[in-house]
Each structure stands twice: as C-alpha cells, then as structure tokens.
A and B are shown apart, each in its own frame.
Chain A
Amino acid sequence: MTSTMTETVAAPTAASRAGISPWLTFAVRRGGQFILSLWVLITAAFLMIHLVPGDPVRAALGMNAPAELVEARRAALGLDQPLIVQYVNYFAKLFTGNLGVSTITNEPVAHIIATRFPATLQLALLACLLVLLIALPLGVTMAVVTRGSRRRGLELTFAIICVVFAAIPEFLLGVGLVYIFAVNLGWFPIAGNDSPLALVLPVVTLAVGPIAVFSRIIRVEVLSVLSQDFVRTARAKRLAPRKIYIRHALPNAMTATLTLTGLLLSGMVAGTVLVENIFAWPGLGTMIVQSILSKDYPVVQSIVLIYGMGVLLVNLVIDIVLALLDPRSTIRES
C-alpha cells in the first residue's frame, strides 16, 4: 500500500527534476488517466451484457420466442463469437459510431441517443446554471454577514434550511412541485417538454438540493478566504467592502467552486434519470429505465457509456481549468 503510493508520487518528481516542463508532465498524467478511465468504462459497458446471468437474448425476447429468432438475434448481436473477438469488434464499432441496434425496436442505438441526448443536456446545463447563479451569491452573502460569529441566529436558520432541503430526494421534491404548481395551481405543464414553461419544474427540482449543499460549502470557503492576510491588506487599503468581496475574496474561492461545479455536473447524471422519469422528459434518463425494464441491453449499454463519458469529460475539463487558473498547484503536484 505505502510502497505503491510513494512510487506514484516519486515518479513525476523525478521527471520534473530531469527538466521536463511541469505542463507536459501534467498533460501526460491527466491525459493518461482519462484514457485509462475511458478504457475501463468501455470494458465495463462491454462486459455488462455478458455478466447478465443466463442468455440476455432469451431474456429479452421472452421464453416463448422461437429458437430460430433467438439464434438469429444472437448472431446479429455477434454474441455467437468468441468473447475476445466480440471485445475487439465492440471497440472497432465504437470508433465508427456504430452502437448497435435496439433489440426491441430495431432502431439504431446511435439514432436513439442522438435524438434524446440534447433534451437531457439541456436539463442538466440549465439546472447547473441555476445552481451557480443562486448558490454563489447566496453563499458569499451568508459568509459576509455571518463572519466572525455575527448573526448566529441567521446562520443557524440558514444551516437548518439547507440541511432539510438537501435531505429531500429529487423524486419526492419533483412530485411535490408537480402536485402544487402543476396540478393544483396549474401554472406549469405536468409533464413533457413542449413549451419553455415545461422546463421550469424539472430544472428547479434538479437544482434545489445542490443549491442547498453548494451555498453552505461556498459560505465556508469564502469564510476561510476572508480570514486570510490579503483580505486584511485589502481592508487596510480601505476599499469599499463590495470590492473586497468581489475582487479579493471570490477569485480565491474559485478553486473550490470549480471543483464543486465538476461534482455538480457529474451528479446531475443521477438527478436527470429520476427527474426525467417524473416529468416524462424525452431524454436519456427515461430511455435507460425503459430499456432496463424491457431488457434492451444494447441501448442500456450505450446510455451507460454516454453517461460515464460525460462524467469523465467533465472531470477532465475541470482539472484543466483548475490547472490554468492556479499554475502553482499544478507545478507543485507534478
């Protein structure tokens, strides 16, 4: 355990000592990590269909399906070939964008994903934006007004509200919102994505929990920045308080905020699955649940792959942005 750890740490240090640019070391290390993760993900997705106990085709087509049909479908899916051949073929097909066909509708999986992915992305991005737009100012404001143990009552109220909202699962919140705002008040459509108004409830459902968690973390982050020496320097310059918070405190809380944004975006994957199912949103989340229930394995496999790749990409982008924002930490780590 310890030996493996020291080695992973020691290797890059040796590299930077040899005069290699820390940026190159970073690119190789982070890029390598991404490719390795991608390989594990694709392998897991490939193996999924083989790990299903029994015959997945028989399971999908039902016990009464004629043996010829099952055989034909097995051949169509390439399941009659040796595992290693299937594995190689799977990679080859992925690179040409061929994700196979649905065992239920015979529709190409790539087509299903292409039509449904934008709806999911729209939901996730809007929710993320809403979270940042609310949690960031809220967290900073709370930090400013409650610093130095001021307004303990307000701080306690804020903490309690956040804990409660963070504890409500999305699917319950969604149903509650539908009940109040769609069924009783009729302000928004109950389901679907036919109008811009239809976005409101799903996006709010997705955003509430993360807002509660985020604003608390940002408050703590900003509080720790506010206690640092350079904030005292800014105060000694007698800058207007607003400028102290925006120019000096916020940029220094950015590292934490970005890391959180990465977690938020990848967490949205799980959130959208549930929320799409509440609001019958025509995205990947409704599709994956339908496909799991109907044992449409090629579709499940590909959607898992897409979600997983989304998570990996988000993490990669965030790490790169963090490295650009704070070159010192990159250099130190390498």
Chain B
Amino acid sequence: MPTRLKWLSIVRSPVGATATVLVLLLALLAVFAPLIWGAQAEAIDTSGTQQGPSAEHLLGTDALGRDVLARVLIATQLSVALAVIAVVIGVTVGTLLGTAPSVLPRWAGRLVVGIVNIAVAFPGLLLALFFAVIFGVGTTGAVLAIGFAMAPGFARLTQTMSAAIAGRDFISAARAAGVSRLRVLIRHVLPNIAEPLIVNATVAAGGALLAFAGLSFLGIGVQVPAYDWGKLLGEGLNRIYINPAAAFGPAVAVIVAGLAFNLLGETAASVAGGRVTIGRWTLPPRPQPTTRAVPAFSTVSVGTILSIENLRVSYPTPSGLVHPVRGVSFEVREGEALGVVGESGSGKSLTALAASRLIEPPGVVDADRLEFNGIQMLTAPEKTIRGLLGTSLAMVFQDPMTSFNPTRRIGSQLAEAAQEHQGMSKKEAMKRAVKQLQAVRVPAATRRAEQYPHEFSGGMRQRAMIAMGLMNSPKLIIADEPTTALDVTVQRQVLRLLERVRTDTNAAILLISHDIAVISQSCERVLVMYAGRVVEDLPTAELYTGARHPYTRALLEVVPDLDTDREQPLGVIPGRPPAPGEVPLGCAFAARCPLATAQCREADPELEIHRDKHRVACWNPVESDTRVTLPELTAAAHTEAAPVATVGGAQ
C-alpha cells in the first residue's frame, strides 16, 4: 500500500476519524481562541464573582468574575503547547539516549543502556517529581520534568527498534561497505524508526496533557497568572461545592483532548502495524442439523460403537462459510482398528474432533447421524454426553509436549479424569494413575507421576497420554497422529502399545495419520480422505493390491521402500490439495489426477460400494494391476508438492 493511502485509512475508521477531527479542532482552538475570546477571559467583573452557569456565562465565573468557558477555550493553547513541547523534549532526549550506544565507545554505550534500563523501571510521575525538584516549581520546570520523565521510555523504544533494524541486510551491507556508524545511524536507522516514534509520540502527547493537569492540580505545574487546564481545574475543584461547572469544564477538556491524542496514536499504530481491520465479519446463522426423523430404534447394526452419516464441519470466514469436512460417513465397530489417512488439510483431524464433540465455536458441526454407543450426540443433553464420552471415549493427541498442562504434575492430570467420572477420591485416582502408567510401561511410575510434563521425554509423554485415556474404560480410542512427533523406534513402540491396549481391553481404535505405512501396519481397515471427503474405504489387507482410487494409489507410490533408488529425490504427489474455500465443482482430486476426464471435472463422484467391504468415490477407478505413474517431477513441482510420506513410515 502506498504510504499516503496507508495513512488515509486512519480517517476511514470511525474512531480514527473522530480522533483526527478532535485533534484538528484542538489545533484551531489553540491558534485562534486567544484572538476571539481573549478580552472576555480577562474581563474582571467584581460584581459577578463565583457565579454558577448562566446564559451569559455557560460555565459560570471565577473568583474575579471572569468567564470560565472563555478561559477553558483559551487554555487550550498553553495546555496543548506544553504537552507538545514536553513530548518533543522526551522524544529528542530519548532518541539521543537510545541511539547513543551505537556511536559511543562500548563502555559508555553499556553505561547509557544500563541507566536507561534502570530509569524505565520507575513510574513516570516519580521521575517527573524528581525533575520538578531539580528544575524548580513552575511552567518551565514542569515542561522539563515531564519531558525528561518521558525520555527513558523513548530511549528504550529507540534501542529496541534500532536493534531490530541493525540485523537487517541493508545495515549489514552498509557496515560492510565501511560506512561509519554515525552515518549508518542517521542515513539508515533513524529514517526506519521515525514512523513508530511519531506514532508513539502522539500517544504520549495525550499522556503529557494529563500529566500537566496532574502537576498543576498538585500545585507544582503552571503558576499564576498563566493558566492551563490543570490550573483551571485546580481552581474549579477548590470551589466545586459552589460551582461544579467550573471544575467540570476543564475536566472534560482534559479528558477529551487526552483521548483524542491517544486514539489518534493508537489508530495510527494499528495502521502502521498493518493491524487495521477491513470490515467486521459476523457469524452466519448456525445451520440447523437436518431434522430428518431419527428412527426410535437404532438402525445401526449391532456391534457398532461409532456411526457417522453425512458429517459436515463448517467455519465462517470473511468470504463466507467454508466446509473443511463435507459429508463424511463411516462406522467403527467394537474392537476394530480403523485408520484414516490423508494429506494435511484433508479434514481427517477435524472429522475426529467432530466425532468426539470437541469442535468449538465458531466451528459448526452437523450430520444426519452422529451416534456413539447408541447415543445421538447432536441431540442428547450436554450432561449425558459428558458422562458418556468421559468414560467411554479417549483421545490421544498429536503433540504430547503441548497437550499436557505444563503447570501440573502428570499424575494429577491423569487422576482428574477418574475423579471426574468415577467419583474416585484423589488418593484412589492417583493409585490408578500410577497403575495405568505402569500398564503403558512408563518406568518408575510412582516417581514419574510426581513429575511435570517437561521432565518427560516425547515418547514417555505419549505413553502417559495413552495412559490418561485408559483411566476410565474407553470403548473407543481416537488417536490423532499419535506418532508424528516421535522418532522411528519410539513410533513403533507407541503403535505396539496401542495394539496391545486394543487386544487387552477390546477398545476400538480410530487411528489418524498422514502416513499410510503406519496405518497399513496397525489397522484392519483404512479410510482415505481427500479435501474433506472419504474417497476410499477398504480393508488394509487389500490396500497394496486392491486400492482403486488414483489418490490412494498415489499415496502408496510415494512411500519409499527397500527397492527405492536412493539417488532419486523422494517421490511426491505434485500440486496441493484444494483449500477448503476453493473446492472445485467436480472431483477435488481431478486437478492432480493423471486419469482425470471431463466427467471428473464436472461432477463429484459418490462414495459407492465397489465390492464387499470396499467403497470408492471415483469415476475412473484404477484396474487392479495398473500402475499409476505420477507425472514426471520438475524442479518447480518438487518444491511445491506436499510430501505425504516420510522415510520413517516405510520401515
């Protein structure tokens, strides 16, 4: 954005526009008020002293019968001028102090930095009082005091900003070219920090106005016969019981002027920082779950623990609703291990979160059926769901580092699950936590339970997370990329552990991974997801020979194996999956599919039964023995393509 246009956008926001108008108004008043109301403000009327508001004197009169309103208007000049002078002093001294270390000898520079760091710690008013003593009570003293009190803050700001700039290429280039430090400072550093300095100075001007009022109020600011708003306020406050308006006038002036500078500065800061919001966006009305009559008895076959039909997850964005999950249907049977595979952004994690009712607003979940253990989870009361999911559904998340609360011990994080849902005492729950940690083979479990997450290794944390899921007796464990953050050996241990848990407890497992090798090793059935839909659903046993969808084939192709030529770059599927807002009309994979036809680009194929236990959504399914050859890799395609398999996954 060109600079001029950028600054214009200050005026475009209502707050910025108001602040700009107010500041301009203040400037006009400061210049012209003494010319217009000068005589009125000095006109002494001994017969009409200390009057309340009247038509003639809107804010009443002071102790000498002078018009308070005229005096408030005229005081704009001195008040604003003093604030501006103080800020100029503060910025100048601050910039000098802040940039001095970059031109001074090192020891002197460190001394300056040290003193600034100490001075910044003290509140501004304390500094102002300190300087007020040195410079003496009165207008000059107050200006210098407030100016100097602001200097350390600006010095720190200048230091921080020039340090940030010092690391940039053009400064290094100038240095390398032998440009002197002073020249670098003046030619390169200062122009680059001028903008934020001015923005901060505007905010500081508001603060300075209030500070002057404060000092004048305390009697150590402007002295008679001169008067600023603070002085008028002090006079007004002394007579607040006789004529509140005399205090009210200058008080409003101070607050309005202070706010005007402050808001102008803040708006300018958000423009400079690129934080200006381009129009607000509101949430669309929540789509109601389709009110299709749900049969009184469950039509789900016996032995099904999770049944999902036409699941959609939607998020509002500035350009409308997007649907990262678009009509996903599947079932998980008791004790089954089901894998979900797909690239990042395919919607697999959101599907898992939606299935476990963990999508938070503004995300919206709807489905024709979302049934867990016989309970309709979109319609059942919150309390039923909490009790049911708390005991029968366990989640194992991807990053065990961030998925544990860093401030609480592992043991108590495990224990609270059992305390919440089984009514165990803390002691019993801790005992169970230790037992479950032992069950997932965490060594020295009793001692480990007393440790914090950061004292655990990645693999141990993932075990602890699985143990946490086992605190109650889950019927389904949803593991979202449980091995992604781990190295290969630990990966295998964790997968084996999950497998063991499944055989021991007969809990079903929904394993989500971007790594098709991981899925094929540990699951009986696999769902392949692409751009928010399931494109293929087949038994893992058939995966290598019977996969029909070109995308599944492509995923398998790029997994390196022992025969892979290690001189060649790792295989990738060229291109990227479409973003949730840009899903094309036809098959979402068509753009990357070597077999795509015109039909593929026009209509999205349904997920249809291919044969027993095998569903596929494709117009041109691959024949069993056809090898899908991916397009030749070009250098550009290589860098752009999203790798979908890791070397580790192949082992």
Contact = CB atoms under 8 A, between A and B. Distances in A.
Nearest to A166: B262
A235 interface: yes
Considering residues A172, A237, A277, which has the most beta carbons from chain B within 10 angstroms of its beta carbon?
A237
A1 B159 contact: yes
A308 B285 CA distance: 56
A167 interface: yes
Contact of B129 (A40, A252, A288): A288
Given A4-B113, A183-B241, A238-B389, A152 B282 contact: yes
A51 B141 CA distance: 13
Interface stretch (A103-111, A214-222, A266-274): A266-274
Contacts of A168: 255
Nearest to B247: A175
A232 B397 contact: yes
Contact of A237 (B102, B113, B361, B420): B420
Contacts of B435: none
B133 A48 contact: yes
B166 interface: yes
Contact of B240 (A4, A175, A308): A175
Interface in A230-288: 230, 232-240, 243, 247-248, 251-252, 254, 266-267, 269-270, 273-274, 277, 288
Contacts of B417: 237, 239
Contact of A40 (B113, B118, B130, B133): B118
A243 B408 CA distance: 13
A237 B390 contact: yes
Nearest to A328: B454
B121 A311 contact: yes
A179 B244 contact: yes
Contacts of B240: 175, 179, 183
Interface in B393-437: 394-395, 397, 399, 402-408, 416-417, 420-421
Contact of B416 (A237, A293, A297, A307): A237
A332 to B, nearest CB: 11
B96 interface: no
B64 interface: no
B405 A48 contact: no
Interface string A131-171: 00000000000000001111010000000000000011101
A191 interface: no
A233 B167 contact: no
A183 B242 CA distance: 11
Give the contact-size bracket for chain B.
35 or more
Nearest to B388: A238
The main secondary structure of chain B at its interface with chain A is helix
A238 B382 CA distance: 10
B403 A230 contact: yes
A304 B399 contact: no
Contacts of A270: 123-126
B121 A228 contact: no
Give the contact-size bracket for chain A.
35 or more
A16 to B, nearest CB: 17
A44 B408 CA distance: 45
B546 interface: no
A53 interface: yes
A160 B421 CA distance: 41
B115 to A, nearest CB: 6
B447 interface: no
B259 interface: yes
A172 B416 contact: no
Given A1-B162, A2-B167, A252-B407, A233 B220 contact: no
B265 interface: no
Contacts of B134: 48, 51-52
A230 B121 contact: no
Interface in B28-42: none
A3 interface: yes
Contact of A228 (B219, B402, B408): B402
B251 interface: yes
A289 interface: yes
Considering residues A1, A171, A251, A311, which has the most beta carbons from chain B within 10 angstroms of its beta carbon?
A1
Interface string A174-185: 010001000100
B126 A1 contact: no
B361 A236 contact: no
B255 A240 contact: no
A5 interface: yes
A40 B115 contact: yes
B390 A247 contact: no
Contacts of A288: 129
Interface stretch (B210-218, B535-543, B568-576): B210-218
A300 interface: yes
Considering residues B214, B218, B219, B262, which has the most beta carbons from chain A within 10 angstroms of its beta carbon?
B218
Contacts of B259: 167
Contact of A5 (B118, B163, B395, B468): B163
Contacts of B612: none
A175 B166 CA distance: 48
Interface string B318-333: 0000000000000000
Contacts of A237: 390, 416-417, 420, 468
B132 A229 contact: no
Interface string A32-68: 0000110011001000100111000000000000000
Contacts of B237: 175
Nearest to A268: B123
A36 B119 CA distance: 12
A308 to B, nearest CB: 6
A319 B115 CA distance: 19
B106 interface: yes
A315 B121 contact: yes
Contacts of A167: 255, 258-259, 262
B170 interface: no
Nearest to A250: B407
A292 interface: yes
A235 B122 CA distance: 42
Contact of B219 (A51, A232, A289): A289
Contact of A293 (B217, B219, B386): B219
Nearest to A226: B360
A175 B234 CA distance: 10
B114 A266 contact: no
Given A2-B167, A4-B109, A237-B468, A273 B244 contact: no
A53 B144 CA distance: 14
A205 to B, nearest CB: 13
A103 to B, nearest CB: 13
A77 interface: no
Nearest to A240: B420
A169 B213 contact: yes
Given A2-B166, A51-B134, A235 B403 contact: no
B469 to A, nearest CB: 9
A79 interface: no
A230 B159 contact: no
Given A4-B109, A273-B129, A230 B405 contact: yes
27 contacts: A2-B163, A5-B163, A36-B118, A40-B118, A48-B133, A52-B133, A148-B360, A152-B280, A167-B262, A169-B255, A183-B241, A230-B403, A232-B397, A233-B405, A236-B358, A236-B394, A237-B416, A238-B389, A238-B421, A243-B416, A251-B405, A252-B406, A273-B125, A292-B132, A297-B133, A304-B129, A304-B133
Interface of A: 1-5, 36-37, 40-41, 44, 48, 51-53, 147-150, 152, 167-169, 171-172, 175, 179, 183, 228-230, 232-240, 243, 247-248, 251-252, 254, 266-267, 269-270, 273-274, 277, 288-289, 292-293, 297, 300, 304, 307-308, 311-312, 315, 328
A-B interface, 4 closest residue pairs, ranked by CB to CB distance from nearest: A270-B125, A238-B390, A236-B395, A229-B402
